[in-house]
Amino acid sequence: MIAIIDYDAGNIKSVEKALLSLGEEPVITRDREQILNADKVILPGVGAFGDAMQKLKEYGMDKVIHEVVAKETPLLGICLGLQLLFERSDEAPGVEGLGVLNGEILRIPDMEGLKIPHMGWNSLRLINDGRLFRGLDDESYVYFVHSYYLKATDERIVKATTEYSTLIHAAVEQGNVFACQFHPEKSSDTGLHILKNFVEL
């Protein structure tokens, strides 16, 4: 069973729909036991870093996520879900992230001719042999919607990058923790392939 953590943050239904199309039976939940007994866990998210951290704490999901990581259950953060796994964000100064992974979330620098948020399709440069990207070609296109980006402390955990005004760490993997800044559930066949790789871990 795949648990999708419900903390009132955005893209839950589209993630559920993508998993259903792969023949999975996802459960949208904030029940601690259900999440801890799941085979895989997904932390989705669309919205603001500070509000999302407040909701995770309100529902006790911050502690549950740390338990999932300690149990070594595969965990996938998507979009804001990636950002929350790190230590801090420019979007919410003074608000601590989950700190599961080391790094910071920075605002995409303004550049003439580029709109922020970064919204649309962009190609990935695949590096460091990420398990989510097995069977995919370098320069595969995925769908992004974000104004803030990850700079991981340890670049060895970075499995994909993209360029938009700056070098963006677009996907990471460390142990049982996986995360991507883009939306696999909105990235057509490439995104479904990535989700399938996660499901089959």
**Residue pLDDT tens, the chain, 201 long:** 999 999 987 779 999 999 999 999 999 999 999 999 999 999 999 899 999 999 999 999 999 999 999 999 999 999 999 999 999 999 999 999 999 999 999 999 999 889 999 999 999 999 999 999 999 999 999 999 999 999 999 999 999 999 999 999 999 999 999 999 999 999 999 999 999 999 999
pLDDT, residue 10, reads: 72
What is the residue range of 147's domain?
Answer: 2-199
Structurally, how many domains does the chain consist of? 1
What per-residue string of b and e applies to 127-159 under the rule 16 or more CB within 10 Å gives b? beebebbeebeeebbbbbbbebbbebeeeebbb
Question: Which residues does the annotation mark as catalytic?
Answer: 79, 183, 185
pLDDT of residue 11: 78
Query: Mapping DSSP to helix (H, G, I), strand (E, B) and coil, where does residue 183 land?
Result: coil
Q: 123 burial class (0-12, 13-18, 19+ CB within 10 angstroms)?
A: middle
Provide the CATH number for the domain around residue 125: 3.40.50.880
Distance CA 201, CA 195 (A): 10
Q: What is the pTM of this model?
A: 0.96
